[in-house]
Chain A
Amino acid sequence: MDSATLDAVFNALADPTRRAIVARLAKGDASVNQLGAPFDLSQPAISKHLKVLENAGLISRSRDAQRRPRRLEPKRLGEATKWLERYRKLWETRFQGLDTLLEEMKEGEPT
């Protein structure tokens, strides 16, 4: 994933509405109306969010000419989250060490 793509993906995922749209699409394809339903947003506003996600390669339109439902592009999402997962694991290992230390500190604390 090149730098420009990463910019696009991170910008796209930095917005809570767009993260919710991605989460919804993870459950299955959905039309623009379906995607907009949980939010108090106009259709142009939803379309704008979808455009950002589409430009980042996170979602695409299926070929169904009638509804043009959006679908998730799991590969792109996977690439973007892969390093976050590594990052998470490394921190978790260290924080487990911190858990142990904090328990010792609590025991050693005069009450």
Chain B
Amino acid sequence: MNDPSLTVTAVSDREIRITRSFNAPRQLVFDAHTKPELVRRWLFGPPGWVFDVCEIDLRVGGAYRYVWRHPPDTVMGMGGVYREIRAPERVVATEKFDDPWYPGEAVGTLVLTEHGGVTTLNNTIKYESKEARDAVLRSPMESGLKMGYDRLAAMVQSER
């Protein structure tokens, strides 16, 4: 049987790959990543955060935008542009956070493969620069502060 556990590996010094299997057809997993009403239901923020804006223009060159809000007035937004869409198997998109703590862009490549009703998800995130990767890594690793953790969480939510 498939291994449902999630693995995270460093593919190169600027690339991280996430792998996970889902007991569902590929089309459903694809929909859950590309339809705003479905994305809203699982790509939620860290505890206490509310998914405020979820807009997806699913076409090459189209933009997506996510905003999470933490009462009373903390806002975290990010978005990007779709570079490649091959339903229901592949989506390539850029991603960038509003806040300057995260310099530069990353590019996420989502690949879905299906065998016997089980879908395997591979998501490879390539950071534009080592600085971008370091910013992502440094905050939780060296500070260990909740803020860093939340930022990582927000970053992680967008790696699609």
Q: Which residue numbers of A lie inside 8 Å of B, CB to CB? A: 1, 3, 6-7, 10-11, 13-14, 79, 82-88, 90-92, 94-95, 97-103, 105-106, 109
Q: Which of B8, B11, B31, B41 contacts A91 (CB 8 A)?
A: B8
The answer on a CB contact under 8 Å between B141 and A3 is: no
The answer on a CB contact under 8 Å between B24 and A106 is: yes
Distance of B108 from chain A, by nearest CB (Å): 13
The answer on a CB contact under 8 Å between A101 and B32 is: yes
CA distance A87 to B148 in the complex (A): 12
- Which residues of A sit under 8 angstroms from B7, Cβ to Cβ? 88
Residue B134, interface by CB 8 Å: yes
| Chain B 1-17 per-residue mask, 1 if CB under 8 angstroms from chain A, else 0 | 00001111111110010
Q: Which residue of B lies closest to A19 (CB)?
A: B9
Residue B156, interface by CB 8 Å: yes
The answer on a CB contact under 8 Å between B10 and A13 is: yes
- Which residues of A sit under 8 angstroms from B152, Cβ to Cβ? 83, 86-87, 90
CA distance A10 to B157 in the complex (A): 22
- Which residues of B sit under 8 angstroms from A84, Cβ to Cβ? 8-10, 16
Distance of A33 from chain B, by nearest CB (Å): 28
Distance of A31 from chain B, by nearest CB (Å): 27
Q: Which residue of A lies closest to B28 (CB)?
A: A105
Distance of B21 from chain A, by nearest CB (Å): 10
- Which residues of A sit under 8 angstroms from B9, Cβ to Cβ? 84
The answer on a CB contact under 8 Å between A106 and B153 is: no
CA distance A60 to B149 in the complex (A): 32
A97-B42, A101-B32, A101-B38 as given contacts; A87 in contact with B16, CB under 8 Å:
yes
- Which residues of B sit under 8 angstroms from A99, Cβ to Cβ? 22-23
CA distance A76 to B130 in the complex (A): 19
Distance of A94 from chain B, by nearest CB (Å): 6
Contacts of B133-160 to chain A: CB distance below 8 A:
134, 137, 140-142, 149, 152-153, 156-157
